[in-house]
């Protein structure tokens, strides 16, 4: 069905030559038309607004969406730049608190239309920003498969890690992440995975558990919809959290602590 005939919220697989990201939830938002189905020329306000459709609060959604529109700083060349002084850093934070998360930046300087910044979803695969080694279902940037495309074997391994075969628990996912770390230490000699990457990884899993599960478990049927089809699991019974009980910052931080405890990795 042509994308122009689809209602916003209606699911359709990604059109030919669509741009997609390493994040299946963001891809699902595109497949449902909450952002451009092509995945191209996504403006900040549209990406930010789309995250409310998975039950994130406006503030929590903005923490993830807005900083991605800072300019991408290639970790291989960033060390050459002159360090920013303390006063300049504090003043930048006063002017724009989202600068605290500027390392999430995926935007490139030529991506503007009439002064408005945009991203293509593939930009979210920019390594060293919000993307990191040891994804749940993507391989690492230095591996042959690359860091953007879903890997069927990893999705199966994640699903198979369920202890009751009906749900994934925080503990199940903790064990799976720990196993992924051990495997990637063998498979990827160039692995980059420290406390910062681990915190982001656990944060992304915590979002999934809070927005699509009850914070402690998520049905396998939901996981299959999100990771295999890149689709919101509406027909499986999921409903978006209402605005007054959307996932906020305090809940998120608590969920991240629980996830890091479940993984149990020390750095």
Q: Which of 4-18, 25-39, 105-119, 211-225 has the lowest mean pLDDT?
A: 4-18
pLDDT digits (tens, 9 = 90+) for 73-106: 887 665 456 666 777 766 776 888 899 899 899 9
Residues in the chain: 267
Q: What do you get for the CA distance between the two ends of the chain, in Å?
A: 49
Pick from 161, 162, 154, 163: nearest CA to 136? 154
pLDDT, position 197: 95
Q: What's the Cα-to-Cα distance from 237 to each of 136, 155, 158, 226, rounded to whole Å?
A: 24, 21, 21, 13
Q: Is the pLDDT of residue 234 over 60?
A: yes
Cβ burial of 12 (10 Å; 0-12, 13-18, 19+) is middle
Q: What's the Cα-to-Cα distance from 21 to each of 27, 48, 100, 203, 251, rounded to whole Å?
A: 6, 16, 23, 17, 26
Of 149 and 87, the structure prediction assigns the larger pLDDT to 149
What would the mean pLDDT of 189-196 be, rounded to a whole number? Answer: 94
What would the mean pLDDT of 147-172 be, rounded to a whole number? Answer: 98
pLDDT digits (tens, 9 = 90+) for 10-45: 999 999 999 999 999 999 999 999 999 999 999 999
> pLDDT band at residue 133, thresholds of 50, 70 and 90?
very high
Q: Would you state the structure tokens that stand for residue 159, as one six-digit string?
A: 């699903």
- Which helix or strand (DSSP H or E) is residue 201 part of? helix 195-212
Q: Is the pLDDT of residue 237 over 70?
A: yes
Residues 180 and 138: beta-carbon distance below 8 Å = no
């Amino acid at each position: 069905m042509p994308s122009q005939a689809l209602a916003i919220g209606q699911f359709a697989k990604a059109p030919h030559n669509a741009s997609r990201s390493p994040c299946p939830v963001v891809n699902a938002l595109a497949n449902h038309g909450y952002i451009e189905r092509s995945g191209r020329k996504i403006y900040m306000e549209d990406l930010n607004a789309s995250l409310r459709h998975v039950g994130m609060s406006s503030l929590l959604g903005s923490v993830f969406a807005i900083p991605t529109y800072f300019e991408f700083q290639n970790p291989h060349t960033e060390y050459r730049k002159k360090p920013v002084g303390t006063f300049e850093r504090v003043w930048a934070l006063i002017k724009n608190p989202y600068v605290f998360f500027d390392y999430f930046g995926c935007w490139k300087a030529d991506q503007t239309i009439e002064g408005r910044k945009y991203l293509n979803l593939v930009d979210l695969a920019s390594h060293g920003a919000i993307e990191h080694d040891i994804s749940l279902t993507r391989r690492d940037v230095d591996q042959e498969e690359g860091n953007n495309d879903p890997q069927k074997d990893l999705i199966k391994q994640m699903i198979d890690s369920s202890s009751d075969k009906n749900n994934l628990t925080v503990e199940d996912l903790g064990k799976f992440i720990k196993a992924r770390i051990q495997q990637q230490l063998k498979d990827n000699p160039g692995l980059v995975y420290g406390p910062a990457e681990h915190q982001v990884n656990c944060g992304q899993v915590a979002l999934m558990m809070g927005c699509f599960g009850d914070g402690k478990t998520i049905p396998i049927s939901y996981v299959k919809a999100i990771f295999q089809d890149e689709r919101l699991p509406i027909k499986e019974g999921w409903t978006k959290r209402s605005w007054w009980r959307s996932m906020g910052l305090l809940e998120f931080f608590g969920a991240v602590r629980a996830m890091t405890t479940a993984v149990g990795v020390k750095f």
